[in-house]
Structure 1
């Protein structure tokens, strides 16, 4: 499409300008896949030796995100489950624009052969995320009981988004981006998760109280899936949160 061709041209021109300061440059995301829309950002990842960070530019009417990371930081994403779920797929679909010493090609090759077996104890990590998110369950219930709707809504939103990552890891999903994560998790977990997530996220009709009950149902599903991977003290935390979620 015309807007994709324009975005690719911008990415290539920027890559040429930025090349002297980068070990490698890759184009990621929807523009690299050819699935972008006119409002999509152009996502460039730069492998650098110094001064990592993120910069956003406006170039010819398009938003451009420049993510500067060292090669070690880029490689670390393959060992972190919360990053790997989207990083691996993104690398597989990336377009390499500048790669004088083969760093980007090597990382893409690793993504192409990567499996979840590369990360030990994935289910234990996923289950441990429920320990931290148990606090959000208590807050949703507590703030709702106090009539503090905005606080309850904020914690409901945290749970709705953050529960997807451990569940994605538990299902050994590989997604091209976060935009694909939510549908992939819903498909993997099935109708009960999908209905609860849609309601918690506000996609289906329902008031605030209905959305809070839905996000508590998500936590119950996740706990049933993962709690048995925890040791007794952590399992007790998740079980208590699950029971609280069941009561409300």
Structure 2
């Protein structure tokens, strides 16, 4: 595991260099969890008052991603459903490298005690709104297939493949240590029909373009069946229309 030892050493050295200009630094992702491979990037979160953003560096042949976030940004990871799916698990496995006022340790403690009950109603509403918003992609896929515009249909299909996974993860109250784990977690939770359709839509299984697009539409119908109880009457009309097109 030389690559892991090297990654930890790089993370600690970069953190020590950047510490004077930050309010805290944490190592996240696969390196923090010990599941990294030689090409894994080294994810460092830097707590700052201003100047949030992302910077990527190359250090000793390894990619180091520096995500500068404010305290509000970090708090949001435990408060917003779409972030909590991966943020909670990431915080639980994070290695805190610089924490002068103890705020990062406090956030990690909150993540380890966190449950979906804290934001349950908001989580269901977010997932429902996401489904409604994605109805547009269903209309676009249907239209682009009719117009024989395969690239546009493929782009809309990709949107469904990725974003429906997050909606069902929130609805299913899943948490993952990283986005890399999300797709398998959703497939395991939703069962073989979802998994087969996702694999075809994402290109894992051999399928022609139209079959892949129809698999993405099947994902929408599956998600609609799961999220219908959280839709109001107006939202239900939008989703039902999209579902009819998807069928």
Q: State the TM-score, normalizing by the size of structure 1.
A: 0.98
In structure 2, how many angstroms separate the alpha carbons of the residues matched to 1:34 and 1:78?
A: 23
**1:200-242, Cα deviation, whole Å (9 max, x unpaired):** 0000011001100100000000000002211101110011101
1:212 aligns with 2:213: yes
Tell me by how many angstroms 1:124 deviates.
2.0
Instruction: Give the corresponding residue for 1:238.
Output: 239
**1:134-188, Cα deviation, whole Å (9 max, x unpaired):** 0000001100110000000000001000000110011100100000000000000
Instruction: Give the corresponding residue for 1:86.
Output: 86
Q: Counterparts of 1:70-219 in structure 2 under 5 Å?
A: 70-121=70-121, 122-219=123-220
Higher alpha-carbon deviation: 149-158 or 71-80: 71-80
Tell me by how many angstroms 1:120 deviates.
3.9
Tell me by how many angstroms 1:51 deviates.
1.2
SS for the counterpart of 1:50 is coil
For the aligned residue pairs, the C-alpha RMSD in angstroms reads 0.7
Tell me by how many angstroms 1:52 deviates.
1.1
In structure 2, how many angstroms separate the alpha carbons of the residues matched to 1:76 and 1:157?
A: 27
Q: Counterparts of 1:26-37 in structure 2 under 5 Å?
A: 26-37=26-37
Instruction: Give the corresponding residue for 1:50.
Output: 50
Tell me by how many angstroms 1:125 deviates.
1.6
Instruction: Give the corresponding residue for 2:23.
Output: 23
SS for the counterpart of 1:119 is helix
In structure 1, how many angstroms separate the alpha carbons of the residues matched to 2:68 and 2:242?
A: 39
Specify every segment of 5 or more residues in structure 2 that has no aligned partner in the other structure, as ranges.
none
Specify every segment of 5 or more residues in structure 1 that has no aligned partner in the other structure, as ranges.
none
In structure 1, how many angstroms separate the alpha carbons of the residues matched to 2:137 and 2:159?
A: 8
Instruction: Give the corresponding residue for 1:6.
Output: 6
Q: Is the 8 A contact 1:88 1:175 kept in 2?
A: yes
In structure 2, how many angstroms separate the alpha carbons of the residues matched to 1:139 and 1:230?
A: 22
**1:80-119, Cα deviation, whole Å (9 max, x unpaired):** 1100000000000100011111011011001000001111
In structure 1, how many angstroms separate the alpha carbons of the residues matched to 2:232 and 2:139?
A: 21
In structure 2, how many angstroms separate the alpha carbons of the residues matched to 1:234 and 1:83?
A: 23
SS for the counterpart of 1:96 is strand
